[in-house]
Amino acid sequence: MTPRAGSVSRTRFSLSAGDFRLELGASTKIMGVLNVTPDSFSDGGDFTDPDRALEQALRMEAEGADILDVGGESTRPGSAGVSAREEIRRVVPVLKRLAGRVRVPVSIDTSKEEVAAAALEEGAVIVNDVRGLRGNRKLGQRIAAARAAVVLMHMSGTPAVMQKKASYENVVADVRAFLARAAAFARACGIANSSIAVDPGFGFGKTPAHNLELLRELRRFSPLGFPLLVGLSRKSFLGYYSGVERPADRLAVSLGAAAAAVVGGAHIVRVHDVKPHREMLDLIDRTLTGDGTT
Ligand code: HH2
């Protein structure tokens, strides 16, 4: 379909994740965050009990989540990380409960091959890697063998130090070049083009100004030729610009940021508060497609 003059368009993609096909571009997809960690920056400790995690997953699905992203390690600034064994201990009981209960694809938020392997075994079909594979061929090949999708996110440094030395020649160009290299590496590992999504990594080794620049210039990631995922929900730069201290109180500014990202071409938004995002995005999607105007 040719976009009308003056309209904001999004490239259409079909993302292959195991047996799932996610049709992207006509409507915005929501990835609901399910952190089964004691220390995540906004919801740490809320869902460490696997039964509570299942309840939350079912709630998010009912509220309109298209993907559920299960994470067993916090990557908040300053965090030290946990062992693969501990991450597996946290996520596997949750994935076991989700299997057969949720209809939407499940994603595992990890950078570790052992954790990805265990999660894929339990039915996850997307690996969301905040380190963008970083040359981890075993992880790439594991994802390829499972015909799973991968989300390649940009992070500068590691969570422990990333906010201490956030510096770029040109943040948009640098992040875009990283993602292009990460996608080429994923392809070399055998992951299909149609199973790759990219993410500029808001808050990962970026100052508030870097994050704002990335959001403002999001369109410049479209030429990479991959679906664009963004994680803006409750992030600290939103607190910086709005003055809202508590992450869980940053809903209004999170909604505004998600709307700006979608107008900038984002296909998938990773959020903690599914219901209000679904309501807001349905309206934005209609505005972009013109659906309901006649
Ligand atoms: N942000 C977080 C974790 N995973 N994955 C992608 N693809 N994009 C993101 O922006 C992203 C992500 C951090 O948020 P959260 O999971 O709420 O916190 P924590 O890392 O403290 O568990």
DSSP one-letter string for 166-215: ---SSHHHHHHHHHHHHHHHHHHTT--GGGEEEE--TTSS--HHHHHHHH
How large is the average pLDDT for residues 163-171?
Answer: 86
Cβ atoms of 152 and 129 within 8 Å: the answer is yes
Partners of residue 22 on adjacent β-strands: 15
Ligand 1: does its nearest atom lie under 6 Å from the Cβ of 191? Answer: no
Report how far Cα 204 is from the mean position of its chain's Cα atoms: 12
Q: Which amino acid is at 108?
A: I
Residue 8 pLDDT level (bands cut at 50, 70, 90)? low
Residue 7 pLDDT level (bands cut at 50, 70, 90)? low
Ligand 1 mean position, distance from CA 68 (Å): 13
Is the pLDDT reported for residue 212 higher than 90? yes
Is the pLDDT reported for residue 6 higher than 60? no
Helix (H, G, I), strand (E, B) or coil at 114: helix
Measured from the Cβ of residue 293, the count of other Cβ atoms closer than 10 Å reads 7
Cβ contacts of 160 within 8 Å, gap of 6 or more: 78, 79, 80, 81
**At residue 33, what are phi and psi to the nearest 5 degrees?**
-85, 125
Percent with pLDDT over 90 in the chain: 84
85 is catalytic: no
Helix (H, G, I), strand (E, B) or coil at 124: coil
Output the pLDDT for position 241: 97
Q: For the whole model, what pTM was predicted?
A: 0.96
Closest CA to 240 of 223, 257, 216, 220: 257
- The span from the CA of 65 to the CA of 206, in Å, is 28
Cβ atoms of 95 and 70 within 8 Å: the answer is yes
Comparing 107 with 158, the larger pLDDT belongs to 107
- The span from the CA of 29 to the CA of 75, in Å, is 23
Q: Euclidean distance between the first and final Cα of the chain, in Å?
A: 17
* 251-263 and 274-289 helices, crossing angle to 10°: 30
Of 215, 270, 274, the one to substitute when testing ligand 1's pocket (max ligand atoms within 8 A of C-beta) is 270
Cβ atoms of 207 and 166 within 8 Å: the answer is yes
* pLDDT tens string 72-118: 999 988 888 899 999 999 999 999 999 989 999 999 999 999 999 99
Closest CA to 48 of 34, 58, 62: 34
Output the pLDDT for position 79: 87
Cβ atoms of 265 and 67 within 8 Å: the answer is no
- Nearest ligand 1 atom to alpha carbon 73: 22
**At residue 120, what are phi and psi to the nearest 5 degrees?**
-65, -35
Is the pLDDT reported for residue 3 higher than 50? no
Output the pLDDT for position 1: 45
Is the pLDDT reported for residue 134 higher than 50? yes
Residue 2 pLDDT level (bands cut at 50, 70, 90)? very low
Ligand 1: does its nearest atom lie under 6 Å from the Cβ of 72? Answer: no
Partners of residue 152 on adjacent β-strands: 129, 198
* pLDDT tens string 216-271: 999 999 999 999 999 999 999 999 999 999 999 999 999 999 999 999 999 999 99
Residue 39 pLDDT level (bands cut at 50, 70, 90)? confident
Percent with pLDDT over 70 in the chain: 97
Ligand 1: does its nearest atom lie under 6 Å from the Cβ of 221? Answer: no
